[in-house]
Amino acid sequence: MSDPRYDAIVIGAGANGLTTAHYLARAGKRVVVVEQHETPDPSADIGWVPDVVIRDLGLTGAGLRIETPDPWITAPLPAGGTLELARDIGKSVEAIRRISPADAAKWPDFCQRMRTLASVLERLYLVPPPDIESTDVRELARIAGLGLYVRRRGKQTVIDLARILPMSIAELLDDWFESDVLKGMLGALGVWHLKQGPRSGGTAFNFLHHHAGCTAGVFRPTRSNVTQALSKVSGVEIRRGARATVLAKNGKATGVVLEKSGETIQAPLVVSSAPPRSTLLPLAIELYPDFARAVSNIRARGVVARGTLTLEQAPQYSTFCIAPSLDYLERAYDDAKYGKDSSSPYIEVQRTDGRLEVQVQYVASGGTDLSSTVARLLNVQPSQLALRAATESLYHGELTLDQILFMRPVPGWSRYRTPIEGLYLCGSGTHPGGGIPGAAGRNAAREIL
Amino acid sequence: MKQYDAIVIGGGHNGLVTAAYLARAGKSVLVLERRSRVGGAAVTEEIFPGFKFSMFSYVVSLLRPEIIRDLDLPRHGLHILPLESTVTPMENGDYLAAWADHDETRRELYRHSPRDAEAYDEYGRLMHFMAQAVKPILGMVPPDPTSFALGDLAGLLKLGKHFRGLGAERLHALVKLMTMSSADFLDEWFETDVLKATKSASGIIGTFLGPRSPGTAYVLLHHYMGELDGVFRAWGFAKGGTGAVSEAIASAARSFGAEIRCNAGVSKVLVKGGKATGVVLENGDELAARTVVSSLDPRRTFLQLLETSDLPSEFVQDIKRFKFRGSSGKVNIALAGLPTFTCMPDSAGGRLHRGAVSISPSLDYVERAYDDAKYGEFSRRPYMDIVFPSMIDPGMAPPGKHVMSIFVQYAPYHLNGGWTDAKREAFGDAVVNTVESFAPGFKSLILHRQVITPLDIEKITGLSEGNIFAGELALHQLFFLRPAPGWAKFATPVRGYYQAGSGTHPGGGIMGASGRLAAMRILKDGR
């Protein structure tokens, strides 16, 4: 006996939740989105918005703006001055030449190789992960097709994938470059939102993951207002200030209950873009002990504090990065290993829409010292900073090799389904994970339909 | 000039295994060893009068059973004595022990955590199964996924079938073992820190990684593949030290007609028209052979014994990129008597000394040991695996006296400022002082000590950068990538030149699998 008003409830009005909602709505379903926060998060969306989502949902018409900062990054040099990398590879070569001619010579080739590898990931990310246990002929054919797709990109691509994905970003960069500043700036992307240091295996994968969707030679995720655009597209109802818990009966999802009002909304289909753990653990999943254990084993440790910086005058840069060397990043991580905030953290300031967003890594507790540390490194007053440490990973699950593809969110349940009939997941905790707004949402919707 | 069917460069255990298999197939084989004795890193030496040590590698368990069988090694003197227990002293004076008796181990674990005692059996079963599942791969020539050759495609298909045959749950466990850190992997199973620390320690051996570094869970599994019967870890000693393993293989090789020449270092492999024709010894002598096999590590095999002009430049780059980064040292000590550990004053009736003592009191302890090494220093308080071989094999020391073998990590090959005699002694002091902190009075029992740094390992055995596995066992240096993509099947870009050392698949430990697979390949090629 479901609520006559809705066919589906989507939990969370972030990019993935809204994407799923719109795809479902376009397939004729009556969809309501319930979002716990009253007001939309003003911070920018980070990551590649797949073209197919933009096209399918008409996001350009809804005011989607994708930023293309140029130069895309600025980093201080130890001897004074800055290193600025431009979107144009030739311009970057000139900039790098001033600190290392050898690195400058390798830059175009490096950019090309990384672009090729990222394009393989892009192909994998817009479809559900390969089901390696399947005996279904169609699925096996699809896996063979993916394999062939990779092989067609050349022998070197196969070798690079096998060699580079499990590598540490430090090993990868040491293979190519000598400049500490360049390696630090690139290495930061390898540990982006990860409780790992640049010498940890798998960070080269994290680097490529965040290169997906970028043009060759740009190694910071794209920034956009995709969530804002998605909330302007018509066709779904969004209810804000409504924290929802999933209701299930006899192993079937029946709807959600809203925390404050106690109101119940019923629907045979519930899709959650919230973290898998918080979605699933309140339910009676102890009925599925292996599944419950896998869910509680998801690693989603928060290591980043985010916030804003207020300056009197708009700065010259678009993205300012403090990660002067791989050792600097590694030492910052060492503190986190033992449960402390980095005494010298990796800091990035990003200018978007007149706002200055700050990202600080690694942060364990985010005590009062943090603001003064960051202020000192940025040469500002602590009062100009407003930082908030996250206890859980922004990505609902760290992007490590054991938590991607058919292992995400938990092994064996990578097809957006759960043991509870009618309950699906569509957030960053599912394939392909965070930093690609809309991809998981679209994959989930297609899987549901 | 006599032309041999095959010359094998290097008389380590893999070189000897290759020689034995080739000789067994009727080939005329000559093994050339630079040192005055065979064995490479598996040697027994009387370092101090009356005290014998397995100088480098000190435990045996990975030796492939088919090699023991094919070469009839027991008849040639191989005798393995089981190493039954592991005791980990804790900083609070308590200890964690794993005994040969399964129920006793369970009771001991229960004392620390009932939950872990419950999980322990299930964990043991899974690891045992996973090791069984991976073992066939150790005996298989890795197929090349970049190739469209029929043999490679068939190999890949076979591999795919094998993995799918494991079932979903175990397949997932395998993916986790291949990609996770040992600390994270063990976190999913256990809560007792000292248990996780001791188990994860076997995941860092020979690597330049800490227990929290992804990739260490695989080494955990690699060490679970021991074939000896046992519960906690199936390790054992060879009677007479690990040198006795090498001697047994050498004896088997000789019995098949192979010739073994010591004090015969090779300086170059002769190449004519892209084909290996023989070798030049350090003394200038030239020897001819139809096939030349190197059991040295990849760097020496290709960059030292050949001219780079003999090799494709891409391949040279790949070999140059192959990582060694030795991280382990060894301290061999002659003792006037057995030390008493604070955690077990009565030594549980001598049982403590008959097994291993693991200095891994907590995960943070081991991780901090790694932190020192990351920035180019040896660990101030290192992880250690301590055994007293004379307790099991009394012939190793004079009556009433003992030998003590301490495997130490981390001691980076690339030490800040480089290794000097003073640094070596400082490193030895750090080791001895750390042991003293767990066993007061230990220092007064020391009669002699030998400290071996990675640089010493390199100088004595020839292993590049002192890496005990002839190249790191990192995921990107395994299987079809070991030692280089496209050249993981024991052949090399030079016709008639083969590689047989631990730097090839599957690599690492006194396993002999590389040497055997190389011999098979050579025979299959009809050489």
Contact B28, B314 (CB under 8 A): no
Please state the rounded mean pLDDT for residues A188-203.
Answer: 96
For the ranges A14-23, A37-46, B255-264, which has the lowest average pLDDT? A37-46
Cα of B335 to nearest chain A Cα, Å: 37
Tens-digit pLDDT profile for residues B11-47: 999 999 999 999 999 999 999 999 999 999 999 999 9
Q: Which of A283, A243, A246 is nearest to A260 (CA)?
A: A243
**Cβ atoms within 10 Å of B449's Cβ, excluding its own:** 20
Please state the rounded mean pLDDT for residues A20-45.
Answer: 93
Q: Residue B466: pLDDT above 80?
A: yes
Please state the rounded mean pLDDT for residues B317-344.
Answer: 95
The secondary structure element, H or E, covering residue A271 is strand A269-272
Tens-digit pLDDT profile for residues A282-311: 887 778 888 998 999 999 999 999 999 999
**Cβ atoms within 10 Å of B405's Cβ, excluding its own:** 24
Provide the H-helix boundaries in B37-101: 65-70
ipTM metric: 0.89
Residue B353 CA: distances (Å) to CA of B47, B348, B403 = 21, 9, 11
In chain A, whose CA is at the least distance from the CA of B188? A297
- Residue to test with chain B: of A132, A139, A402, most B Cβ within 10 A: A402
Q: What is the mean pLDDT of chain B?
A: 92
Query: Confidence band (pLDDT; 50, 70, 90) for B231?
Result: very low
Q: Give me the DSSP letters along A195-228.
A: SS-TTSBTHHHHHHHTTTTSPTT--S--EE-HHH
Contact A278, A243 (CB under 8 A): no
Contact A166, B179 (CB under 8 A): yes
Distance CA B214, CA B29 (A): 42
Query: How is chain A split among helix, strand and coil, in percent rounded to 5?
Result: 40, 20, 45
Query: Confidence band (pLDDT; 50, 70, 90) for B59?
Result: confident
Q: What is the pTM of this model?
A: 0.93
B145 to chain A, any CB pair closer than 8 A? The answer is yes
Which residues, at least 6 apart from A266, have a Cβ–Cβ distance to it below 8 Å? Answer: A1, A2, A3, A6, A254, A255
**Cβ atoms within 10 Å of B75's Cβ, excluding its own:** 11
Q: Residue B241: pLDDT above 90?
A: yes
A167: which chain B residues are within 8 Å (Cβ-Cβ)?
A: 474, 476
Query: Confidence band (pLDDT; 50, 70, 90) for A3?
Result: low
Query: Confidence band (pLDDT; 50, 70, 90) for B230?
Result: very low
Q: According to the CATH classification, is domain B3-79+242-322+470-524 in 3.50.50.60?
A: yes
B205: its two tokens: 């051996």
| Subunit contact B175:A412, Cβ cutoff 8 A | no
A284 to chain B, any CB pair closer than 8 A? The answer is no
Q: What is the pLDDT of residue B234?
A: 54
Tens-digit pLDDT profile for residues A378-433: 999 999 999 998 888 889 999 999 999 999 999 989 999 999 999 999 999 999 99
Cα of B104 to nearest chain A Cα, Å: 28
Find the Cα–Cα–Cα–Cα dihedral B139, B145, B151, B153, rounded to 10°. 110
| Subunit contact B146:A155, Cβ cutoff 8 A | yes
Contact B341, B423 (CB under 8 A): no
Tens-digit pLDDT profile for residues B380-429: 999 999 999 999 999 999 999 999 999 999 999 999 999 999 999 999 99
SS3 B79: coil
Q: What is the pLDDT of residue B233?
A: 44
Half-sphere exposure of B330 (CA within 13 A, CB side): 23
Tens-digit pLDDT profile for residues B502-525: 999 988 778 899 999 999 999 999
Of residues A167, A199, A412, nearest to B476 (C-beta):
A167
Half-sphere exposure of B127 (CA within 13 A, CB side): 25
Radius of gyration of the CA atoms of chain A, in A: 22
Which residues, at least 6 apart from B523, have a Cβ–Cβ distance to it below 8 Å? Answer: B21, B22, B25
Of residues B215, B374, B481, nearest to A201 (C-beta):
B215
| Subunit contact B476:A163, Cβ cutoff 8 A | yes
A175 to chain B, any CB pair closer than 8 A? The answer is yes
Domain locations in chain B as residue ranges = 3-79+242-322+470-524
